[in-house]
Structure 1
Amino acid sequence: MTLEEAQADALVRAAREAARNAYAPYSDYSVGAALLFEDGAVVTGCNVENASYGLALCAETVAVAKALGEGRRGGLVAVAVTGPMDKGDGAPITPCGRCRQVLNEIAQLGATDPLVLCVGNDRTDGVRLSDLLPRAFGPANLA
């Protein structure tokens, strides 16, 4: 599936909207993620921090957990990840290493290589998950 500009824009808007629900009292760095599936469904997530910092959850991980909890097993076409517009240098943000692995899990369940929209203040970079996480370990490695 090719991502059309209107779909990409809608996915970025969904991620920005999800970021508004972030619980980020410690970092003040709200992140939103939106996952697009083959059937057109969009599942969102936001980061959830914890006073025990290591227990924090990234937006992408929350979105994947929601999708799996809804029974989705594969079909991931695209992901949008947004951060705060007023932090850092405004460059597009990318999923952290853990989130790349979590995204890979659901992508491999459907044998997809989703487009990851890394959103910044002035531009969005689209990159395939396989480029962000080359030679990934996944369910097929355990078969």
Structure 2
Amino acid sequence: MKKEELIQQAKEVRQRAYTPYSKFPVGAALVTEDGTLFTGCNIENAAYPVTCCAERVAIFKAISEGYTNFKELAVVADTKRPVPPCGSCRQVMSEFFPPQTKIHTSNLYGESRTMTMEEILPFSFGAMDLTHEDE
């Protein structure tokens, strides 16, 4: 799938976001290595900490369907610059995305920026940090 098509999918799903509190809808589109598409939008809650971002919704949908090999992700919001994923999303992404996975950030004005997972979250905490030297 082309970058532009992926961004368009993220724009479309953004319209289904549930954002009564922030009024800040975000859409995400995730492609697996075999070309399967998963989309997500942010879903808010009056108890703010349990809100789930669009990126995590798309990733969790894919994982729940048995997909674990990801190729690229696009995220879109109505921002002045291409919208960056929040820290929580970056951490979840680092759990499932190889370092060279492409992440396309975009806004509604046609601007976009593409980075790799490693560029968007360098020196990330991961499974290797949970092992002990004596294991």
| Percentage identity across paired residues of the two chains | 38
* TM-score, normalised by the number of residues in structure 2: 0.89
The Cα shift of 1:112 comes to 4.9
Residues in 1 aligned to 2:126 and 2:30: alpha-carbon distance in whole angstroms: 19
Match of 2:77 in 1: 83
Residues in 2 aligned to 1:43 and 1:122: alpha-carbon distance in whole angstroms: 22
Gaps of 5+ in 2: none
SS at the partner of 1:135? coil
Runs ≥4 residues deviating over 4 A: none
Residues in 2 aligned to 1:139 and 1:29: alpha-carbon distance in whole angstroms: 32
Measured against aligned partners, the alpha-carbon deviations of 1:30-89 in whole angstroms (never above 9, x if no partner) come to 00011111101111110000011111110011111101100112x2111100013xxx4x
What root-mean-square deviation, in Å, do the aligned CA atoms of Structure 1 and Structure 2 show?
1.4
Greater Rg, structure 1 or structure 2? Answer: 2
Whether the aligned pair in 2 keeps the contact of 1:19 and 1:30 (CA below 8 Å) is: yes
Residues in 2 aligned to 1:57 and 1:138: alpha-carbon distance in whole angstroms: 21
- Number of equivalenced pairs: 130
* TM-score, normalised by the number of residues in structure 1: 0.85
SS at the partner of 1:14? helix
Residues in 1 aligned to 2:84 and 2:130: alpha-carbon distance in whole angstroms: 27
Gaps of 5+ in 1: 1-5
Whether the aligned pair in 1 keeps the contact of 2:55 and 2:85 (CA below 8 Å) is: yes
Match of 2:100 in 1: 113
2:32 to 19, 30, 37: 37
Residues in 1 aligned to 2:8 and 2:127: alpha-carbon distance in whole angstroms: 31
